[in-house]
Amino acid sequence: MSTIFTQIVEGEIPARIVYEDETTIAFLDANPLAPGHTLVIPKDEYERVNDMPEDVAADVYATIHRLVPAVEDSVDADASTVAFNNGEAAGQEVPHVHCHIVPRFEGDGAGPIHSLFSDAETFDVADLDQITEDLSDDELDEIAADIESRA
């Protein structure tokens, strides 16, 4: 069964397509978080970022790189948040890799990505200490070494 995104790629579901090449396609999000909220996807279905072959991942990133300034300029945004929700536990609702380019504006109240783990309205970088306060230096060193060994 194909995802809603594959149905967009195949032309079965209409979308406001803003860019397309051999391996990627980008379109406006049907439920935008801000004007110009754009999704970039590989045309082939891969559920998670780590499922994409490296060449496809490079193509997806190249499309993101191309579109970020285009999206920001088109809606006169001050910045953008560029993010993947990688897996259901991270909030991924469609099991097809997709990158969000969300235009951001001064005073929009959304906060930085770190506010996902804190209150966006009252977020302060000092709050980050509370998020990881239970991890010792040894635990952090172990996590870093484990990631490095798997990369």
Count how many domains the chain has.
2
Predicted TM-score of the model (pTM): 0.84
Q: Is the pLDDT of residue 119 over 80?
A: no
Q: Are residues 83 and 10 in the same domain?
A: yes
Q: Are residues 54 and 85 in the same domain?
A: yes
The Cβ-side half-sphere exposure at 85, using a 13 Å CA radius, reads 12
Q: Are residues 121 and 78 in the same domain?
A: no
Calculated CA dihedral for residues 61, 4, 19, 28, nearest 10 degrees:
-100
Q: What is the pLDDT of residues 75-96, one digit of tens each?
A: 999 999 999 999 999 999 999 9
Q: Are residues 36 and 91 in the same domain?
A: yes
Task: Give the pLDDT confidence score for residue 115 in this predicted structure.
Answer: 77
Question: 47-59 b/e with 16+ CB inside 10 Å = b?
Answer: bbbeebeeebbeb
Residues marked as catalytic? 98
Q: Are residues 33 and 87 in the same domain?
A: yes
| C-alpha to C-alpha distances, 85 to 19, 61, 115, 127, 129, nearest whole angstrom | 21, 15, 15, 22, 23
Q: What is the CA radius of gyration of the chain?
A: 18
Residue 69: CATH number of its domain = 3.30.428.10
Tell me which of 28-42, 47-61, 74-88, 132-146 is least confident: 132-146
**Residue ranges with strand state E in the chain:** 17-20, 24-28, 38-42, 79-84, 99-104
Which structural domain range is residue 96 located in? Answer: 4-110
Q: Is the pLDDT of residue 1 over 80?
A: no
Pairwise CA distance, residues 105 & 84, whole Å: 20
Q: Are residues 77 and 17 in the same domain?
A: yes
